[in-house]
Chain A
Amino acid sequence: NAGVIQTPRHKVTGKGQEATLWCEPISGHSAVFWYRQTIVQGLEFLTYFRNQAPIDDSGMPKERFSAQMPNQSHSTLKIQSTQPQDSAVYLCASSLPGGGGAETLYFGSGTRLTVL
């Protein structure tokens, strides 16, 4: 079991360019979560999918961010017209539903996005 795989590990974009981040969840896990980690804001929830269906995107900046899960083996987070404030580590996690609401998230190593 390779765990949650995120690619690329590092991405540098120029202001205004597009960035696409990839996540491969653990095989058999039914939920995929995206979080953003910065020193200032900490860990911010962005969005999550259950059985490939979008469930909650309340943390997504509406205009430039989008996420998809076209199949059970990968999810993408796309940021259009990147801005310096988008610089962060983007974390993907997957999980299996647990009893009583307990659901352990397994995090990938993250993609460090730097917008120049």
Chain B
Amino acid sequence: GEKVEQHESTLSVREGDSAVINCTYTDTASSYFPWYKQEAGKSLHFVIDIRSNVDRKQSQRLIVLLDKKAKRFSLHITATQPEDSAIYFCAARDNNAGAKLTFGGGTRLTVRP
């Protein structure tokens, strides 16, 4: 089955700098890649996603890049703010395997003032 690896378990950046979180996946059939955010003491909520028919997607300060050849995708947070501090999870879905998401291990992002 699909395996998703999140390369950075922790990441610390200064407020205003950019943060990049990288993930790799194993199943070439995966075609949908969402990102979820978990703030301290709260549950996960969706932040952005990308489908395999594009290689870049942007939503305000969030950019997702997808390299299908390398089976790699990344989340870029520009102009980071303290409220960006959270654990970020990447995930992948193989449409042939139904709707379940396979998650990476999470990256704890800390934005320092």
Point out residues on A near B: beta carbons under 8 Å.
31, 33, 35, 42-43, 45, 48, 50, 55-56, 58-59, 91, 93, 95, 97, 100-110
Q: List CB contacts (< 8 Å) of B31-65 with chain A.
A: 31-32, 34, 36, 42-46, 49, 51, 53
Q: Is the CB of B99 within 8 A of A42?
A: no
Q: How large is the interface on B (under 10, 10 to 19, 20 to 34, 35 or more residues)?
A: 20 to 34
Q: Is the CB of A43 within 8 A of B103?
A: yes
A56 (CB) vs chain B CBs: closest residue: B98
Give the residue among A55, A91, A107, A110 with the most B Cβ atoms within 10 A.
A107
How many A-B Cβ pairs are below 8 Å? 65
Give 8 pairs: A residue, B residue, CB < 8 Å, sorted on A.
A45-B101, A48-B99, A56-B100, A58-B1, A101-B93, A105-B34, A109-B42, A109-B43
Q: Is the CB of B43 within 8 A of A55?
A: no
A55, A58, A91, A102: the one contacting B44 at CB < 8 Å is: A91
Contacts of B89 in A (CB 8 A): 43
